[in-house]
Amino acid sequence: MTKLVVVIRAGGLGTRLWPMSRRRKPKQFWPLVSEHPLIVDAYERYRPLVASPRRLFLTVAAPFVSRVRSLFPRLPRENIIGEPVSRNTGPAVGLESVVLQTRFGREDPVVASVTCDDVFPRAAAYRSVLNRAAAALRRGAGAVVAVGDRVSDPDPGLSYMQVGRPVHRVGSYSLRPVLRWVEKPTGALLTRVANAAHYVAHTGQYLWRLSTVIDILEAYHPHLWPRFARIRQAWPTRQRATVLAREYPRLPSLSIEQLVTAVAPRVLAACGDFQWSDTGKWFLIHKLRTGGVGNALRGRVVAIDSDRSLAFGSSRLIALLGVRDLIVVDTPDALLVTTHAASPRVKEMVDELARRGSRRLL
């Protein structure tokens, strides 16, 4: 029986959590939801799934490799994969796959490719779903498996999957075929997604046999595969850094959905109820810290007659008086003041600062 390999993708910049999340220290290194950085919470979430640290990997931007090594001294140095530039999640999955081939190619393990910046309050239930999906893949399910969560609080900014009748039963659990992808629904479609049991939230977590992704890269991306193949060939050699720096930046920016799931011959859903949430917007950070009730306060903050607000301070005092649904994030060189409703638009501010040439603030 093949054992699970877990790759935690931690290469994002988290621009919607500006001004705390910056290029020099993105959101995965901040304690936004618990008292630990998101990347540490993710490591602890997935560690029980692997037989040893040798089977757990982290993919990060190259400048943060040394920081990750200091956070996880027991993790083998070879298990921290540094991306020389950001090319979105698709090339990151291609890179992790060819690296894993150099280590586990003959075994052809089941791989869980997961994010570090999502939250699963019902972590045990979530891990149970991953284990059952992995068992189905070991038994020949032969597919890309996307993890879906029950829709409890529909969000028009998320993606959803319409799933079919159960297939590939593992005990009392079954995978379901993905019939349709629903991107950022609104109006009547969002209402239908919220009320129909055959829709689940797409969490962005995946499982597959290693050979499945390699086959997809070779068969459906012949213009990209030679670059991945050259990286794979050089990985066990002293030419690794040189070849990676030459080949990886020449890859296009593609999501996993564009590179893998859009062309995969078969996509199944592993569905559960584990209260998944992403952490990409400030109003979600408030909800995760408070349950949506009361204030989320950190630093020097005094709140009077104020509710459902988030205030993260640094050295200065933040005083909240008679406000509601407010987001205040104070850093030494930038202050953000917005509302819950407008907080998903923070990236617009980041883009505007970039347009004005204020790179030191990004």
**DSSP code string of 277-325:** EE--SHHHHHHHHHTTSS-EEESSEEEES-BS-EEE-SSS-EEEES-BS
Please, which residues have CB within 8 angstroms of residue 341's CB and are 6 or more apart in sequence?
283, 325
Give me the pLDDT at residue 124, please.
96
- Nearest-angstrom CA–CA distance, 26 and 38: 10
**CA quadruple 339, 119, 194, 189: dihedral sign:** positive
Domains for the chain: give ranges and CATH numbers. 5-278 (3.90.550.10), 282-361 (no CATH)
Q: Which two tokens stand for residue 144?
A: 């890309």
Helix locations, 73-122, DSSP H: 89-104
- Nearest-angstrom CA–CA distance, 51 and 330: 42
Q: Which two tokens stand for residue 18?
A: 């500006």
Angle formed at CA 177 by CA 171 and CA 178, multiple of 5 degrees: 140
Q: What is the pTM of this model?
A: 0.94
Q: How many residues make up the chain in this entry?
A: 362
Q: At what angle do helices 225-234 and 89-104 cross, to 10 degrees?
A: 40
Per-residue pLDDT tens digits for 210-262: 999 999 999 999 999 999 999 999 999 999 999 999 999 999 999 999 999 99
Question: Average pLDDT of the chain?
Answer: 94
Q: At what angle do helices 240-247 and 225-234 cross, to 10 degrees?
A: 170
Residue 1 has pLDDT above 70, yes or no: no
Confidence of residue 2 (pLDDT cuts 50, 70, 90): low
Residues 294 and 307 sit within 8 Å (Cβ to Cβ): yes
Per-residue pLDDT tens digits for 309-348: 999 998 899 999 999 999 999 999 999 999 999 999 999 9
- Nearest-angstrom CA–CA distance, 289 and 278: 13
Report, in angstroms and rounded to the nearest whole number, the Rg of the chain calculated over CA atoms: 21
Residue 169 has pLDDT above 90, yes or no: no
Q: How far apart are the first and last CA of the chain?
A: 47
